[in-house]
């Protein structure tokens, strides 16, 4: 597990570094105003990409990890849903975003620019992420790492070629470069999947509900994660939006230290919880310690290095160091609740997971909007910490309750530390009854 994590975190760390370099190149080339527009459009596409495919990647990862023979059906299921949803998302997103940008910035933006950004950041990114999901589901972690690192390097190379070599300085020019770079890498990724087998194109209806529930969690979280950008854009100069957008991008990259761990434990949780949620609880406790440790290490690194970031992104981003230091502590709380949510999802309890994440993030979106409107940016930071802490508490309370119920259904109790223990009582009587219960499940159900 440690070796796998080092490989996984190494790949995501390399991807994170490449992503930061990409942001630095774009921030310097476009300037605070144009980069601020790019940040706002990217916030919309970040929501749309979570809708694209209706969460079908969950069943691809979960079911293929358990039943590799289901891969052709689930791959076809994913490709069909991506194709159907992307057509609606691009058309609706382009029309809505173009109108929003004109209202906020007061200057028109070309429809073709917005369309290229949506096609690249929604449709093509979803296909690229599908490649990584396939490899993780099949247990080919090295290939998944190669996909992640390759995409990050491709984006950095595209930005360097566009902005440094060809002196791209406008959002319209960058939209064309980004689309071409994403398209080329998506074709490479699909070629990597060809040896694994052809997809069987059909909709797996029993997975639609789980997929929508899975997708809704990330959609609502994406809304909550970007509502501050929308509100700040209404009340603050576009240059401040650029600085805050860079800080948010840096934080998104920092979460990869947690994601590197979660992408490894999710398939393991799926296998461990197959015969009962309580059986995976000891592994979740160990994973929680590791995730919090990673979060603390990431927080310290960000806090120490924050004053040096304007040298990388440009002196025009004056508030960048302050924003990063204020946001850096959230990564610890994210590590705390991510393990609980991953175990709920891997065990097939997407409804419970969606209820926790969606309700908290929906309330949180309103809280962030109100706090940002009243006292931006300090109010924004306070609201963010309140939301993340709420997710930690609610996630683990629900998980422990469901694990205790699962253990009781299987004839075990869950102690205060979360460990599954044998039920107390007459040992001789239990030993005599157990074979009967194993042979007569109907009697066992009636007794329960």
* Confidence category of residue 428, pLDDT binned at 50, 70, 90: very low
Residue 219: both structure tokens together: 């959609």
The phi, psi pair for 201, rounded to 5°, reads -80, 105
Residue 198: both structure tokens together: 């052809």
Per-residue pLDDT, 261: 78
* Confidence category of residue 399, pLDDT binned at 50, 70, 90: very high
Query: Does residue 18 register a pLDDT over 80?
Result: no
Query: Does residue 436 register a pLDDT over 80?
Result: no
Query: Does residue 13 register a pLDDT over 70?
Result: no
**Tokens 């995501």 belong to residue:** 12
Per-residue pLDDT, 158: 93
Query: Does residue 240 register a pLDDT over 80?
Result: no
Min mean pLDDT across 118-127, 350-359, 378-387, 433-442 is at 433-442
At 78-105, the pLDDT tens digits run 899 999 999 999 999 888 887 777 766 6
At 252-302, the pLDDT tens digits run 778 777 877 777 787 788 888 888 888 989 989 999 998 999 899 989 989
Which is more confidently placed, 209 or 426? 209
The CA dihedral of 242, 247, 249, 252, to the nearest 10 degrees, is -150
* Confidence category of residue 233, pLDDT binned at 50, 70, 90: low
Provide mean pLDDT across the span 399-427.
Answer: 65
At 166-186, the pLDDT tens digits run 988 888 899 999 999 999 999
Mean pLDDT over each residue of the chain, to the nearest integer: 81
Provide mean pLDDT across the span 227-235.
Answer: 71
Per-residue pLDDT, 349: 87
At 32-45, the pLDDT tens digits run 778 878 887 888 88
Query: Does residue 62 register a pLDDT over 50?
Result: yes
Per-residue pLDDT, 82: 92
Rounded percentage of the chain residues whose pLDDT exceeds 90: 23
What are the extents of the domains in the chain?
A: 2-447
* Confidence category of residue 4, pLDDT binned at 50, 70, 90: low
Per-residue pLDDT, 179: 95
């Amino acid at each position: 597990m440690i070796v796998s994590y080092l490989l996984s975190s190494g790949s995501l760390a390399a991807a994170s570094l490449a992503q930061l370099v990409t942001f630095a190149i774009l921030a310097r080339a476009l300037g605070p105003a144009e980069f601020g527009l790019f940040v706002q459009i990217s916030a919309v596409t970040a929501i749309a990409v979570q809708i694209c495919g209706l969460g079908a990647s969950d069943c691809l990862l979960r079911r293929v990890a358990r039943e590799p023979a289901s891969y052709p059906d689930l791959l076809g299921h994913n490709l069909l849903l991506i194709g159907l949803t992307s057509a609606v998302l691009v058309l609706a997103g382009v029309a809505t975003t173009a109108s929003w940008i004109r209202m906020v910035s007061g200057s028109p933006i070309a429809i073709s620019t917005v369309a290229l950004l949506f096609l690249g950041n929604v449709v093509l990114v979803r296909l690229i992420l599908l490649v990584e999901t396939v490899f993780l589901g099949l247990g080919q972690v090295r290939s998944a790492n190669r996909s992640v690192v390759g995409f990050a390097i491709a984006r950095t190379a595209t930005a360097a070629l566009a902005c440094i070599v060809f002196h791209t300085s406008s959002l319209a020019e960058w939209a064309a470069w980004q689309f071409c770079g994403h398209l080329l890498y998506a074709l490479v990724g699909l070629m990597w999947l060809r040896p694994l087998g052809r997809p069987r194109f059909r909709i797996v209806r029993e997975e639609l509900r789980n997929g929508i529930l899975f997708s809704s969690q990330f959609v609502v979280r994406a809304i909550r994660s970007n509502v501050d950008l929308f509100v700040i854009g209404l009340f603050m100069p576009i240059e401040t939006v650029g600085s805050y957008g860079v800080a948010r991008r840096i934080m998104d990259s920092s979460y990869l230290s947690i994601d590197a761990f979660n992408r490894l434990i999710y398939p393991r949780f799926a296998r461990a919880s197959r015969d009962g949620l309580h059986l995976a609880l000891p592994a979740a406790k160990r994973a929680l310690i590791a995730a919090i440790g990673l979060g603390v290490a990431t927080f310290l690194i960000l806090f120490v290095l924050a004053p040096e970031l304007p040298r990388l992104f440009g002196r025009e981003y004056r508030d960048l160091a302050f924003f990063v230091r204020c946001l850096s502590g959230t990564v610890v709380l994210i590590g705390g609740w991510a393990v609980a949510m991953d175990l709920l999802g891997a065990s097939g309890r997407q409804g419970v997971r969606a209820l926790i994440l969606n309700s908290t993030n929906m309330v949180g979106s309103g809280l962030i909007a109100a706090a940002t409107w009243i006292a931006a940016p300090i109010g924004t930071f306070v609201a963010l910490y309140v939301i993340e802490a709420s997710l930690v508490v609610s996630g683990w309370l629900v998980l422990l309750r469901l694990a205790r119920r699962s253990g009781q259904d299987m004839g075990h109790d869950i102690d205060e530390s979360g460990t599954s223990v044998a039920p107390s009582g007459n040992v001789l009587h239990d030993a005599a009854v157990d074979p009967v219960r194993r042979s007569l499940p109907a009697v066992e159900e009636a007794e329960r």
